[in-house]
Structure 1
Amino acid sequence: MAGDNRAGMQEPGRVPDPAELADRAAIAEIIALHCRGVDRADEATLKSCYWPDATTAYGPEAVPAHGFCTELVPAIKAFRQTHHLVTNILYAFDGPQARVESSLIAFHYLAGADGADSEMTYLGRYLDRFEKRGNVWKIRHREPVMSWSQNAATTHDADHPALSALRQAARFPNDIVYK
């Protein structure tokens, strides 16, 4: 189906020009920084990914993104760790606007008070509307779409001989990335 423009995506296999490659790199950086912001519970990094007037729809209605970022930090800290991975980023540009779809795998490690730790694995997509203002791309609106999730018992074996020498991830400002 050559020329089929499903979900606003450009012609598959089309060679983007250098300016579009630069725009894609800027958008991919924001998506990766958002993952860092969530996993490190770093409110400033999260907010830097959104325009001040941006919205998110993690629930049934869109809310201001910066307020959502503030509320997300303590919710994330309820988990011992989280790890968000984004792949398969697809871009549809329309001037200073871009619709971006990316696949998401997120792991949420919950330490149980009784030693019964669990992990919630979430698989889905981010449907983002990005906007370029001046020479900067940021999220204008984000809506996650869930494919499925699962919960399972888990363990954290930091004392395993193969892992004991590795640094352990931490929240902002204690993670090694901030040193």
Structure 2
Amino acid sequence: MMENMAMPDDPAWRLLADRQQISDCLAQLARGEDRRDAGLISACFWPDATTDYGIFAGDFAAYLAWVVPGSDAIAVTQHILGQSHVVIEGDRARVETQVSAYHRIDAGDGARDVWLGGRYLDAMERRTGDWRITRRMMVYDWFRDDGPAVDWSQGLMGMAFSAPHFTGRARGDISTAFFADHD
């Protein structure tokens, strides 16, 4: 049975390892953006990377300054990643990833819940063994405004929350402490 297992020097194993590292990078980036965590985000882009979100375009430093700390008008975001189409050519990859993103936005008339859907088009490179983004473009496929946001201060379905950490993640997310706890 062992003769059919891929080993680290096997091209099939290398392809699977590359795909997993690319997937991990994209998931970490979504986590970093939802928490406005500069360290998580920075670990996913090469310093010379560029971005184009249609509503913002620039080099990585400008992007990081735009997304962290983020707008106070956007209290919560959640990026849900779908399937990725990955084409790897040596130390370069092209990746298209489906995304649905929730945003709680207050444009001055109260909080609203909005959703958008689209695709990230990422050019990625492996440098010193790590896969990171060199160029990202966001392509939008749909947008939905769900109207006024529910008031979480009252709890869920008429039942009060026992602590404030049950909602939100942009600032002070409870999962940060959860993963930092090594007991």
Task: Give the TM-score range, shorter chain.
Answer: 0.7 to 0.9
C-alpha distance in 2 between matches for 1:83 and 1:60: 18
The answer on 1:159 being equivalent to 2:155 is yes
**How many matched pairs?**
162
Amino acid at match of 1:29: D
1:40 to 35, 42, 59: 35
Paired position in structure 2 for 1:105: 100
Query: Which of the residues 95, 101, 109 maps onto 2:90?
Result: 95
> 1:10 maps to which residue?
none
Corresponding residue number in structure 2 for 1:6: none
Which structure 1 residue ranges, 4+ long, deviate > 4 Å from structure 2? 111-114
Q: SS of the residue aligned with 1:164?
A: coil
Residues of 2 paired with 1:103 and 1:148: CA distance?
Answer: 12
Q: Which residue of 1 aligns with 2:124?
A: 130
Q: Sort the Cα spacing of 1:169 and 1:23 in 2 relative to 1 into closer, same or farther, 3 A.
A: same
Superposition RMSD in Å:
2.3
Q: Secondary structure at the match of 1:53?
A: strand
Distance verdict in 2 for CA 1:94–1:162, change over 3 Å? farther
User: Which range moved further: 75-84 or 142-151?
Assistant: 75-84
Give % identity: 30
Structure 1, unmatched stretches of 5+, are 1-15
* TM-score (structure 1 length as normaliser): 0.80
The aligned runs of 1:1-179 (5 Å cut-off) are: 17-59=12-54, 62-111=57-106, 116-153=110-147, 154-157=149-152, 159-160=155-156, 164-165=161-162, 167-172=166-171, 174-179=172-177
**Quick one: distance in 2 between partners of 1:21 and 1:162?**
46
| C-alpha deviation, 1:48, in angstroms | 1.4
Aligned residue number for residue 9 of structure 1: none
SS in 1 for 2:166: coil
